[in-house]
């Protein structure tokens, strides 16, 4: 059986078309979207790590600072609220939902800052190994959260830019009409003033 010239040409055109499509950016939008979703998962993972550390920190402080009930209650309530508000990857295009999540996390950060500040009034607490270890873990977690948020913001910038610039805007108009820009984290007013923590 011999191949006709038209069959060879059709095969060549199909291969050429496949190479052209793969090299021209068709995959850029889905790749950037998945990258942003992965970075969001990292943000959530680090917030969860912080939430998991808080009960141990609160229990340690409770042992020394029984009269600081108001501060401890504020931390527990803020943690509960922050862990109730969840955003999955399908909600990343909703800026209101992201702001609600961010506000709950910021409230928890403020409560933690006040809890750490309590240690100034309790010299025994400041030297307690459990407290120092938990405080160090929280500081490390806060740094991880900052890095994860920065990485998410960059991934969202890449994705959103791809939806608005050439040739991505063409692919978005033709094949990815349902894709919307993702929401970014924004600094709130309290972020400009660090919490008063004294040691």
80 located within any domain: yes
48 located within any domain: yes
166 located within any domain: yes
85 located within any domain: yes
Cβ 57 vs Cβ 115: under 8 Å:
yes
Q: pTM, whole model, 2 decimals?
A: 0.77
Task: Check residue 23 and give its pLDDT.
Answer: 54
13 located within any domain: no
3 located within any domain: no
CATH number at residue 135: 1.20.1440.20
181 located within any domain: yes
Total residue length of the chain: 199
How far apart, in whole angstroms, are the C-alpha atoms of residue 44 and residue 81? 14
| Domain tally, the chain | 1
Residue 155: domain span: 28-192
How far apart, in whole angstroms, are the C-alpha atoms of residue 184 and residue 176? 20
Q: Give the model confidence (pLDDT) of 4-24 as tens digits.
A: 767 677 666 666 555 555 556
Q: Give the model confidence (pLDDT) of 122-174 as tens digits.
A: 888 877 888 889 989 999 999 999 999 999 999 999 999 999 998 899 889 99
């Amino acid at each position: 059986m011999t191949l006709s010239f038209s069959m060879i040409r059709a095969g060549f055109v199909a291969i050429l078309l496949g190479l052209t499509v793969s090299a021209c950016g068709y995959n850029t939008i889905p790749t950037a979207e998945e990258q942003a979703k992965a970075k969001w998962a990292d943000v959530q993972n680090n917030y969860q790590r912080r939430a998991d550390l808080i009960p141990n920190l609160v229990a340690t402080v409770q042992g020394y600072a029984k009269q600081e009930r108001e501060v401890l209650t504020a931390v527990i309530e803020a943690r509960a609220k922050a862990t109730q508000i969840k955003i999955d990857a399908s909600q990343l295009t909703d800026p209101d939902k992201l702001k609600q999540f961010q506000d709950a996390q910021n409230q928890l950060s403020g409560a933690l800052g006040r809890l750490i500040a309590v240690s100034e009034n309790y010299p025994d607490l400041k030297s307690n190994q459990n407290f120092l270890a938990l405080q160090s873990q929280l500081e490390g977690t806060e740094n991880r959260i900052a890095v994860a948020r920065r990485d998410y913001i960059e991934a969202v910038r890449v994705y959103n830019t791809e939806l608005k610039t050439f040739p991505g805007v063409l692919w978005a108009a033709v094949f990815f009409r349902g894709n919307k820009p993702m929401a970014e984290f924004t600094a709130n007013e309290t972020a400009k003033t660090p919490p008063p923590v004294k040691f």
